[in-house]
Amino acid sequence: MGCSGNRPHTYINIFGKLTLEDEAIVTKALEQLNLLPLKDKLIDELSDGQRQKVMIAKSLAQQTPIIVLDEPTAFLDHTSKHHLFATLQQLCAEQGKLIIVSSHDLELMKTYINRSVTMAEGNKMEAL
């Protein structure tokens, strides 16, 4: 079972197998987040940060026009945080994706985002 053309997300056939096209999509998502060396590991063998990146790669592989991420940098080291946001910024620019992120890391957000809504104490919202 499969679809041709521009698919909104990957599909698995009735036997639980990926098509060659789907494998290429998954490989690209893993490459984008520097996860390719981990592709044959079980989820239990990954660190918390690696698991976090795998879940984000999973959302990238679905090829949706909108991605919503809640604290995507949790468990990531400084370098990985910046790489993730640079990758997300690139996806927005090159593929026109809308990526909505909630985060407490204001400095990181200021570096990479182009629009924001800030919530302060008392639920007061401010658009930037």
| Predicted confidence (pLDDT) per residue in 11-48, tens digit | 566 677 888 898 999 999 999 999 999 999 999 999 99
Give the start-to-end residue ranges of the domains of the chain.
20-127
pLDDT over threshold 60, residue 107:
yes
What's 20-127's CATH class? alpha beta
**pLDDT: which is higher, 105 or 119:** 105
Within 10 Å of residue 60's Cβ, how many Cβ atoms?
Answer: 20
Mean model confidence pLDDT for the chain: 85
57's CB contacts (< 8 A; 6+ apart) are 26, 29, 30, 32, 33, 35
Q: How confident is the model at residue 126 (pLDDT cuts 50, 70, 90)?
A: low
- pTM reported for the whole predicted model: 0.77
